[in-house]
Structure 1
């Protein structure tokens, strides 16, 4: 049976991820993140909270070598300690990862250089991340 049986099953997400090369970036965003017409967007939001940014990250990190993660500084001031710990725990599972938090306005300035954006149903304020392939 040649059909994919596990991991990411969405063909649009697989196609996007397959085109990312060394030092290219990919954005994983929440449900309310602005639309960027200059970059490809794969919208996998199903409903409020499904899937989450971390759901996508947890699947990606199985086969996607991540060298850097960017996130808005505002994430830490607009979320509970539990939410911050959940993100930090997921980031910590990635070997040799560098996580940088920068002002949201600077975060958004990096978005147009990404290969693409995966939009989720995540409601986490400032939970968006940019992944750079290693």
Structure 2
């Protein structure tokens, strides 16, 4: 049995198979997911699991080096944006690296998700609570 906190088999497999620069999207309940992209649907009911809970679980296992968000996220949902940035800063401090953080218009963000190896859908119902993580290396 797995010892680390992430026990969801699909998420564990996803993280184990990521290569350097592969991308993973964590999204709210409403973001459109391209048919050709792997969907890991964690949503149970509105708000469960939350966007932040899901990001915390994923970052507990995944090494990142880049972050992409919609420009609108910062303005429309500042509390969730700030919570995400705080988690990213904690990750930077833990691994001693600085991550590239980029903002794009929401329409461009939706197009960018087509590059993701998988999209993880949460039960979050907060506008623009979406992020793309670019996989890094642990060395």
Pairwise same-fold verdict (TM > 0.5): yes
Q: Which moved more, 1:10-19 or 1:111-120?
A: 10-19
1:94 and 2:91 matched: yes
For 2:20 and 2:31, how far apart are their aligned partners in 1?
Answer: 25
Alignment RMSD (CA, Å):
1.4
Question: Displacement of 1:102 after TM fit?
Answer: 1.0
Q: TM-score by structure 1 length? A: 0.90
1:61 and 2:59 matched: yes
**Unaligned 5+ runs, structure 2:** 93-97
Q: Which moved more, 1:50-59 or 1:22-31?
A: 50-59
Who is 1:107 aligned against? Answer: 109
For 1:97 and 1:32, how far apart are their aligned partners in 2?
Answer: 27
For 1:27 and 1:39, how far apart are their aligned partners in 2?
Answer: 10
Who is 2:95 aligned against? Answer: none
Question: Displacement of 1:35 after TM fit?
Answer: 2.7
1:24 and 2:26 matched: no
Residues 71-82 of structure 1 mapped to structure 2, 5 A cutoff: 71-79=69-77, 81-82=78-79
For 2:20 and 2:8, how far apart are their aligned partners in 1?
Answer: 23
Who is 2:47 aligned against? Answer: 49
Question: Displacement of 1:82 after TM fit?
Answer: 3.1
Aligned length: 131
Who is 1:122 aligned against? Answer: 124
**Unaligned 5+ runs, structure 1:** none
Verify the 8 A CA contact 2:80 2:129 in the aligned structure 1: no
